[in-house]
């Protein structure tokens, strides 16, 4: 796949050992910014292929990458990888801490082979500290980070967030760490090992909840759809005639704009609702007042009123609405695709945008080992006969290339 020479990361070469969500998302961001990203999987495929060769997450997070399959448990597979590393700029992985070292291809070995290498790892709890060896997935990190404890309603059990926030926060922070190390390498000529821990990345988003905790450690942690800081009202999801909308008053002027839209301009000067603190003290009353108005209107009507009067409001939308969102499609963030195995799906581009560089066209994710022969020939000069020998030994896996872009 050709990358425009003016792409921000054109010329950058990345070996992506990512699996499931966290690592692959980082690799996807790099690929969509123009880097050459080679996805490296074991002969049986990464963990995301455990159930079947093609899944929507694989398609979403591994587009615009080439794919090879190397057996790190075989000496020849490890040798090939170290030789590849000497020609690449970045290795990223999100294996459990210690796995790469036990295989004999950890950061020290790889950076000795290529001192310019940026070696980037992501894990649940990091590579040091008392919890480093705890098993981690998105759900366990949501639990240990406190995110579940502050999600849900006061009289019900804690609830996880629907999306895999911990995994994707981890992938985004890993991208940032890689780019920081690459910037440093421009000055020093030497690479660096960088890492992120998902649990670390989950603490800053808890700012509102932590504000309440430090002011009153005994305060109720779960506030439903209300503001986690308990200091804003209205701030909630309100029933409309055809679903729900969210409305919030954050600046001092929002309340006056909202009540004017409601046809209750007199409430703007009512001392009972004079400021955030006064309204928060009457939160139930304020919510009932707002919902008494919203339930008489459709979501579209409420959105139009909010736009006209300039206060924050958005419909609570279903996934069918989201994947067909005209705005996201107009921005090139979403695209209808026909995937050879998955059928008609909607795939995303990168959220990172660069002035003067249009989003790259989406190319479907590689099949397991699809580019093994191509990549080994390009970078290591391995011919078909040698590739056959390596495959027979079990050091690599390859499949015939198959045309078809997502």
Which are the catalytic amino acids? 167
CA gap 123, 127 in Å, rounded: 8
Helices (H), 33-74: 56-61
Residue 236 structure tokens: 């909630």
CB atoms within 10 A of CB 355: 4
CA gap 353, 105 in Å, rounded: 34
Q: Do strands 66-70 and 36-41 pair parallel, antiparallel, or not at all (unpaired)? A: parallel
CA gap 234, 250 in Å, rounded: 9
Q: Do strands 13-16 and 36-41 pair parallel, antiparallel, or not at all (unpaired)? A: parallel
**Beta strand segments in 242-355, E:** 243-248, 313-315, 334-339, 343-348
Sign of CA dihedral 46, 131, 28, 139: positive
Cross-strand bridge partners of residue 334: 348
Query: 263: left (phi > 0), else alpha (psi -120 to 50), else beta?
Result: left
């Amino acid at each position: 796949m050709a990358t425009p020479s003016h792409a921000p990361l054109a010329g950058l070469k990345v070996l992506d050992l990512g699996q499931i969500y966290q690592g692959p998302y980082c690799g996807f961001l790099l690929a969509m910014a123009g880097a050459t990203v080679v996805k490296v999987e074991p002969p049986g495929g990464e963990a995301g292929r455990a159930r079947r060769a093609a899944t929507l997450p694989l398609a979403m997070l591994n587009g615009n990458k080439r794919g090879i399959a190397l057996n790190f448990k075989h000496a020849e597979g490890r040798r090939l990888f170290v030789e590849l590393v000497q020609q690449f700029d970045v290795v990223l992985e999100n294996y459990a801490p210690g796995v790469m070292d036990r295989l004999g291809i950890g950061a020290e070995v790889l950076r000795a082979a290529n001192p310019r290498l940026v070696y980037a790892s992501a894990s649940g709890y990091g590579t040091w500290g008392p919890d480093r060896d705890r098993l981690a997935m998105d759900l366990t990190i949501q639990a240990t980070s406190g995110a579940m404890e502050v999600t849900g309603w006061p009289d019900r059990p804690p609830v996880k967030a629907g999306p895999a926030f911990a995994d994707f926060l981890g992938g985004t922070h890993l991208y940032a760490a890689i780019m920081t190390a690459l910037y440093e390498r421009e000055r020093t000529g030497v690479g660096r090992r960088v890492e992120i821990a998902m649990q670390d990345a989950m603490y800053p988003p808890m700012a509102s909840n932590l504000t309440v905790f430090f002011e009153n450690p005994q305060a109720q942690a779960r506030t439903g759809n209300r503001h986690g800081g308990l200091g804003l009202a209205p701030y909630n999801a309100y029933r409309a005639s055809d679903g729900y909308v969210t409305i919030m008053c954050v600046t001092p002027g929002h309340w006056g704009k909202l009540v004017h839209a409601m046809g209750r301009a007199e409430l703007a000067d009512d001392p009972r609702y004079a400021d955030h603190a006064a309204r928060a003290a009457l939160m139930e009353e304020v919510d009932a007042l707002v919902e008494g108005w919203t339930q008489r209107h459709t979501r579209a009507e409420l959105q139009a009123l909010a736009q006209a009067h300039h206060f924050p409001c958005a419909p609570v939308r279903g996934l069918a609405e989201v994947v067909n969102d005209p705005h996201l499609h107009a921005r090139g963030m979403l695209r209808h695709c026909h995937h050879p195995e998955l059928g008609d799906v909607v795939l995303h581009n990168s959220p990172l945008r660069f002035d003067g560089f249009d989003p790259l066209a989406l190319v479907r994710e590689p099949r397991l080992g699809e580019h093994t022969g191509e990549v080994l020939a390009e970078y290591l000069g391995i011919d078909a006969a040698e590739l056959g020998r390596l495959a027979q030994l079990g050091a690599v896996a390859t499949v015939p290339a198959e045309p078809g872009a997502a």
